[in-house]
Structures are given as C-alpha cells and as structure tokens.
Amino acid sequence: MSDIEIPESHPRYESLLTRHRIEVGVEKGITSRQGLIAQGRGEAFDYLLGEQTIPSADEAARAAAAHLLLADHPVVSVNGNVAALCPEEIVELAEATDADIEVNLFNRTDERMQTIVDHLREHGADEVKGLTADGRIPGIDHERAKVDADGIGSADVVVVPLEDGDRAAALGEMEKIEIVVDLNPMSRSARVATVPIVDNIVRAVPNVTGHARDLQGAARDELETIVADFDADEALEAAERAIRTGGE
C-alpha cells in the first residue's frame, strides 16, 4: 500500500497523493482509522470547492497570520491527520510565527502521542508539547480534555486544524482566539472559529506561513486592521456559495 505510484499527469494527482499520505500515516501509527473517515469527508468538500484555495480562504489565511503575529503565546495544535499530511509545513508555520507546536489527539494513546512527537522532530521540530498533559479544557470529558498547561492551556491564539466540534467550542469558551482549518464550512468547528479557513490543510498551512512572512515587518496597527476587517460569517457564506458553484 505505501509504495503505490501515482502518475503526475493524473488530473487529481494532488488529491490522490494526499490520500496516500494518510494511508501511510495509518500504517505508521500516526493517523487513527477514524482519521481515514475524516479524510474522506474532507476530500468530498475539496472536490466541491474545485480543489483550490478560494479567495475568501486566502483572506482568512491572511487574517490568521495577523492574529498569530499579534499573539503573546500562539500554539499550533497537531493531530494524526495533520502530522501525516504536512509535518514540515507545520514546523515552518511555527517558526514564521514564533508559535509552539502541541500534539493534541481525539483518540489519545501514549504510544500514538510519542509516535507523532517523534515524527514531527524528524521533520525539523525542536520542542513538541502535548506529552505533559497537566492542563484541562473545561467542559470536555477526561481524555479529550488533556492539554499542556504551558501550551494550549495558556495560549491566547490557537491554530486547530481539523478539530472536532466539541473541543473547538470548549476552546472558544476559554476565550481563546481560534483559527480553524476545515474544508466543511458547515462543521461546528468552522462555525465557532474566530477565523475559519475553509481550505485543505495542505494548501492552508503554507499559505498562512507565506502571509506571516509578508507581514513580518508590519506595524501593529496594520495587523490590527487586517484582524478587524475580517468577517468570519462572510467567509463561511462565501465558501458555501463556492461549493454550490464549484469554486468562486
């Protein structure tokens, strides 16, 4: 399974490659089997969006970059799908925005946590949080509530790609600024986000990094204007329109 070859000429090459990375992630114990189902759901929405970054998702990525640069303590949360799909890109995003990386799993096992931490280190991460698990997200059942107190627990801005709706809502209740990457504009996670980026994680993460690099020298009030001008409801409506019309 892990050594299939996808011809680059295939019209859906990128999508098949992404699917294949998830298969390999499952084989390596990085991605859970439920992660395969999440991937399938994501692919369906990506297909409807034309497998491209729509303009409203690009605006959201720019607003996300501005939030991250303004943050006191930004954290990028990584689950099994994210680790399998774009580990290097996550490390680059964390570097460009001076953010911590924390592994945060829906189906948490010590073994899978360690496998993902090691995988991220192999892809260039220095420190990876998540193993200490000495903090809790209030209102969530025990295993899924675990976070590092000096990571997500004390972050003011969190990037939560492919987060489940309950936890995204609970993080919002903790008054954190939440940047969600989710291809489904109707998911609960996208709806509770401060900044929902309706785009494939493999495109969205490098795009946020690119915007962060562009905005690196920007004055605080310019970043604050970008943040204030972003309208989450409008972004979700634009994504729904794009889905109905096969892209904007």
Binding site, residues? 19, 41, 182-184, 188-189, 200-201
Nearest-CB residue to ligand ATP?
42
Go through 13-40 and write b for each residue having 16 or more CB atoms within 10 A of its CB, e for each that does not. Answer: ebbeebbbbbbebbeeebbbeebeebbe
Minimum gap (Å) between residue 217 Cβ and ligand ATP: 30
In this complex, which beta carbon is closest to ligand ATP, that of residue 211 or of residue 223? 211
Go through 149-169 and write b for each residue having 16 or more CB atoms within 10 A of its CB, e for each that does not. Answer: ebbbbebebbbbbbbbebbbb
Minimum gap (Å) between residue 5 Cβ and ligand ATP: 22
Strands 177-181, 195-197: pairing is parallel
In this complex, which beta carbon is closest to ligand ATP, that of residue 66 or of residue 183? 183
Distance CA 8, CA 88 (A): 22
DSSP 29: T
State the residues that interact with ligand ATP by CB under 6 A.
38-39, 41-42, 45, 81, 85, 162, 164-165, 181-184, 187-189, 200-201
Distance CA 64, CA 127 (A): 22
In this complex, which beta carbon is closest to ligand ATP, that of residue 183 or of residue 223? 183
Strands (E), 20-111: 74-78, 100-103
Minimum gap (Å) between residue 165 Cβ and ligand ATP: 3
Question: Cβ distance 193 to 57 under 8 Å?
Answer: no
In this complex, which beta carbon is closest to ligand ATP, that of residue 66 or of residue 170? 170
In this complex, which beta carbon is closest to ligand ATP, that of residue 85 or of residue 128? 85
Distance CA 106, CA 97 (A): 25
Minimum gap (Å) between residue 199 Cβ and ligand ATP: 7
- Per the annotation, where are the binding residues for ATP? 19, 41, 182-184, 188-189, 200-201
Minimum gap (Å) between residue 179 Cβ and ligand ATP: 13
Minimum gap (Å) between residue 166 Cβ and ligand ATP: 7
In this complex, which beta carbon is closest to ligand ATP, that of residue 31 or of residue 97? 31
Q: What are the φ and ψ backbone dihedral angles of 124, each rounded to 5 degrees?
A: 105, 0
Neighbours of 194 (CB within 10 A): 18
